[in-house]
């Protein structure tokens, strides 16, 4: 069997990390394990030092600030000594035949995801299995979990669907070909959806193995991490901030929010150069609208609204907002943009905003250059150039 490098970032997750390590060492093949300690203060460094394992590689961020899984995963994959990497999370337990059942599907240009078995902390979904085997490490009977996973391995033998989520396995060179994770989403949140979009656009085949199984405690890196202020089923403030901020960054980059089918195969809408021209625009509406377009033009001759918004929002984004917000008085949107959407904020309601959120699909369906009206919007299409393929390779 080919050897794999299990790449595992961890921050203050020692009890989960120890169980993850135990489960990987429970596999019949002794794979490489690469643990990246992200400024932990819970004894992780001391535990790593105590291990006598020639197939263990470690990297430590001495802190005090964390790097996050965006930087840590990329650092780990860069350090991996095998051709095959497995992006694994510290809050996962590998099933007894995980490696064998993943590798039987793996080839160049393919990404293979394991199927997650989770306790009922999140809503159930058709892409995972729900089992109440424990929310915390002390609730886990390791042998019972191994036995339960082995039963499900046999029940789902050779079953596959299309989809992608952690943990995922692929050839290292395929990961590097798309430039790794985008630092736009550091330290974490939405980085995986961005990466998966780029895998799809690059033509990689996605396989979910239903007999390659992990037990996943769920979201212990930040969202439900007690050291970050969370708990099982309770969001940390750290996670609320990063997921909100990076949700807006995702929309700015892709022109749409995360989309996928019921089995988690990404759906990548077309990316257009769209400008909004908004009359009577207020600060609150500018905040809601700005991520959804390439540029927004408002009637703000003295730039009071513009300056206030940029001062408030610029610390939360790596995009230069001065290149995204313009005044109607001094610019001609129809000469500077591929697609222009004009409307009056006073007419904007929830139905109209829903149209904005689906705009790329609406434009795609229109299929032709010209002008048309939809709801409160006057839409001018000068060209239907799509830009999503320019996002495949991340040049951090």
Task: Give, in order, the Cα–Cα distances in Å from 149 to each of 75, 243, 391.
Answer: 31, 31, 38
Q: Considering only the C-alpha atoms of the chain, give the largest distance between any 2 of them, rounded to a whole number of Å.
A: 70
Task: Give, in order, the Cα–Cα distances in Å from 93 to each of 96, 137, 194, 208, 343.
Answer: 9, 10, 25, 17, 52
Q: Can you tell me the distance from the alpha carbon of 275 to that of 30, in angstroms, rounded to the nearest whole number?
A: 54
Give me the pLDDT at residue 243, please.
Answer: 97
Local structure of 269: helix, strand or coil: coil
Give me the pLDDT at residue 125, please.
Answer: 95
pLDDT tens digits for 253-275?
A: 999 999 999 999 999 999 999 99
DSSP state of 221: T
- Count of CB atoms within 10 A of residue 331's CB? 15
- Count of CB atoms within 10 A of residue 256's CB? 22
Total count of residues recorded for the chain: 396
- Count of CB atoms within 10 A of residue 140's CB? 17
E-strand stretches of 190-323: 205-216, 274-279, 295-298
pLDDT in tens, the chain (396 residues): 899 999 999 999 999 999 999 999 999 999 999 999 999 999 999 999 999 999 999 999 999 999 999 999 999 999 999 999 999 999 999 999 999 999 999 999 999 999 999 999 989 999 999 999 999 999 999 999 999 999 999 999 999 999 999 999 999 999 999 999 999 999 999 999 999 999 999 999 999 999 999 999 999 999 999 989 999 889 999 999 999 999 999 999 999 999 999 999 999 999 999 999 999 999 999 999 999 999 999 999 889 999 999 999 999 999 999 999 999 988 899 999 999 999 999 999 999 999 999 999 999 998 889 999 999 999 999 999 999 999 999 986
Name the helix (H) or strand (E) containing 344. strand 339-344
For domain 4-254, give its CATH number from 3.40.50.2300, 3.90.550.10, 3.30.360.10, 3.60.150.10: 3.90.550.10
Domain range summary for the chain, segments of one domain joined by +: 4-254, 274-391
The residue written with tokens 């980059």 in the block is 253
Q: What residues does 231 pair with on adjacent strands? A: 234
Answer whether 91's CB lies under 8 Å from 13's CB: yes
pTM reported for the whole predicted model: 0.96
Q: Can you tell me the distance from the alpha carbon of 316 to that of 351, in angstroms, rounded to the nearest whole number?
A: 28
The token duo for 282 is 């207020």
Nearest by Cα to 213 from 99, 90, 126, 105: 99
Residues 6+ apart with CB under 8 A from 259: 266, 267, 268, 269
Conformational region of residue 68, where left means phi above 0, alpha means psi within -120 to 50, and beta covers everything else: left
Calculate the CA 50 to chain-centre distance: 33
Q: Tell me the HSE value of 165 on the side-chain side, using a 13 A CA sphere.
A: 21
Pairing mode, strands 129-130 and 84-87: unpaired
Phi, psi of 8, rounded to the nearest 5 degrees: -130, 100
Q: What residues does 169 pair with on adjacent strands? A: 86, 112
The token duo for 286 is 């500018």
Answer whether 278's CB lies under 8 Å from 327's CB: no
Nearest by Cα to 163 from 88, 112, 109: 112
DSSP state of 268: -
The residue written with tokens 């490696």 in the block is 99
E-strand stretches of 168-273: 168-171, 205-216
The token duo for 236 is 């940390």
Task: Give, in order, the Cα–Cα distances in Å from 317 to each of 46, 54, 68, 72, 387.
Answer: 36, 42, 17, 21, 21
Q: Can you tell me the distance from the alpha carbon of 307 to that of 309, in angstroms, rounded to the nearest whole number?
A: 5
DSSP state of 180: S
């Amino acid at each position: 069997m080919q050897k794999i490098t299990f790449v595992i970032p961890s921050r203050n997750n020692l009890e989960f990390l120890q169980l993850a390590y135990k489960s990987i060492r429970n596999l019949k093949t002794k794979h490489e394990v690469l643990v990246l300690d992200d400024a932990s203060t819970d004894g992780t460094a001391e535990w790593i030092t105590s291990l006598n394992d020639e197939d263990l590689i470690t990297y430590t961020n001495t802190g005090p600030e964390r790097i996050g899984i965006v930087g840590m995963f990329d650092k780990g994959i860069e350090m991996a000594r095998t051709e095959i990497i497995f992006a694994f999370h510290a809050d996962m337990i590998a099933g007894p035949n995980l490696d064998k059942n993943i590798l039987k599907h793996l080839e160049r240009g393919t990404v293979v995801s394991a199927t997650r078995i989770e306790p009922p902390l999140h809503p159930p979904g058709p892409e995972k299995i729900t089992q109440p085997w424990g929310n915390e490490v002390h609730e886990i009977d390791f042998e019972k979990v191994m036995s339960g996973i082995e039963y499900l391995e046999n029940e789902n033998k050779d079953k596959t669907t299309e989809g992608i989520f952690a943990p995922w396995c692929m050839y290292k060179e395929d990961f590097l070909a798309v430039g790794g994770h985008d630092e736009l989403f550091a330290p974490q949140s939405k980085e995986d959806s961005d990466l998966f979009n780029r895998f799809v656009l690059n033509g990689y085949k996605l396989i979910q193995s239903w007999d390659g199984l992990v037990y996943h405690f769920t979201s212990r890196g930040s969202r439900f991490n007690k050291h970050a202020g969370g708990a099982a089923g309770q969001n940390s403030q750290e996670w609320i901030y990063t997921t909100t901020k990076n949700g807006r960054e995702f929309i700015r980059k892709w022109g749409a929010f995360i989309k996928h089918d019921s089995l988690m195969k990404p759906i990548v809408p077309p990316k257009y150069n769209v400008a909004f021209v908004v009359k009577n625009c207020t600060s609150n509406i500018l905040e809601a609208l700005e991520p959804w377009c390439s540029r927004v033009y408002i009637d703000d001759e003295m730039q009071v609204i513009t300056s206030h918004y940029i001062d408030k929002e610029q610390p939360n984004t790596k995009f230069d907002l001065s290149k995204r917000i313009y005044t109607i008085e001094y610019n001609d949107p129809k000469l500077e943009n591929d697609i222009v959407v004009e409307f009056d904020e006073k007419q904007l309601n929830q139905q109209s905003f829903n149209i904005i959120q689906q705009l790329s699909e609406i434009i795609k369906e229109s299929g032709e250059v010209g002008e048309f009206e939809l709801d409160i919007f006057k839409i001018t299409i000068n060209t239907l150039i799509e830009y999503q393929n320019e996002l495949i390779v991340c040049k951090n």
